[in-house]
Amino acid sequence: MIIQSIERAFAILELIAENGGEMRLSEIAATLNLNRTTVHNLLDTLKKLGYLEQSEGSVRYKITNKAGLLTGPDCSVLQIRALLNERMQHIACKLDETVFMAMQTGTYFHYDKSWLPDSKRGLPIGLGKDEQMFQTAVGKIFMAFSPSLCNSLRKYYPGVINSARKEEFRDIHQKHYAIDLEQYQQGLNCIAFPIMHKNKVLTVVGTFGPSSRLNQNKLDQAILLFTQEIKHLEGLLKECQQ
């Protein structure tokens, strides 16, 4: 029983780490096929040991810095924002559209930061809200690069990861970007790119705007700008853990 509990505790930590560092109890229980009471007890133990924390009023369990001591120092969200800030603002002004940074939180994601062009004509974006993975360019990136996330989503939406979606994921893997052409919201286009670290998606950046403005020519321009900046940023991320 003790060995089984240890195995389950580490399985929980690994699952949370692979899904944005934060997950709900229900998501963990469904993905690992464990009883909710069992998962709650293990989460409570990991909280007492300091490996997980739960903000007041939050339903998510979040990995703490103490867990990071097991693998050594790494880049924090604050460091990521600092590295992105100047370069994403530059892209926003070049495209004259809103640029965003998104983070995964379990089977959802949220927009963590946005940059508006100097013209201020970029569209506003809601920060911090849970967003669905499906139909969005951002969600496609997270799903395409995370088998763990896809496994979690299958528990809630059987059959949603179908052959057509798998083919789309293979295309995203090859191109390293995903496009949403009015799929999530009529009249809006979006393109998103992964920033990779240790072979995982650390964060997703991209731009969105009215389909009349964010047309194929501007999408091609976005691909060039983001690809150049991300290559440089991923090099800097390797340095920040040394």
Output phi, psi for 52, to 5 deg: -130, 155
- The domain in which residue 19 lies consists of 2-68
- Supply the CATH number for residue 14's domain: 1.10.10.10
* Tokens found for residue 116: 């508006």
Give the pLDDT confidence of 124-157 residue by residue, as tens digits.
888 888 888 888 999 999 999 998 888 888 887 8
Which of 68, 87, 121 marks a domain boundary? 68
Q: Quickly tell me which residue has 């007041």 as its tokens.
A: 56
* Tokens found for residue 92: 């926003």
Give the pLDDT confidence of 185-237 residue by residue, as tens digits.
999 999 999 998 878 898 999 999 999 999 999 999 999 999 999 988 887 77
H or E element that contains 147: helix 147-156
Q: What's the number of domains the chain is made of?
A: 2
Other CB atoms within 10 A of residue 48 CB? 9
pLDDT reported for residue 116? 94
H or E element that contains 45: helix 36-48
Pair 188, 104 in one domain: yes
Which of 38, 68, 98 marks a domain boundary? 68
Pair 7, 83 in one domain: no
Give the type of residue at 60.
Answer: R
Pair 105, 61 in one domain: no
Which pTM does this prediction carry? 0.77
pLDDT cut 90: percent of the chain above it: 42
Residues whose CB is less than 8 angstroms from the CB of residue 190 and which lie 6 or more positions away in sequence, other chains included: 136, 137, 138, 179, 180, 184, 206, 207, 208, 214
Residue 175 in this model has a pLDDT that exceeds 80: yes
Which is more confident, 70 or 148?
148
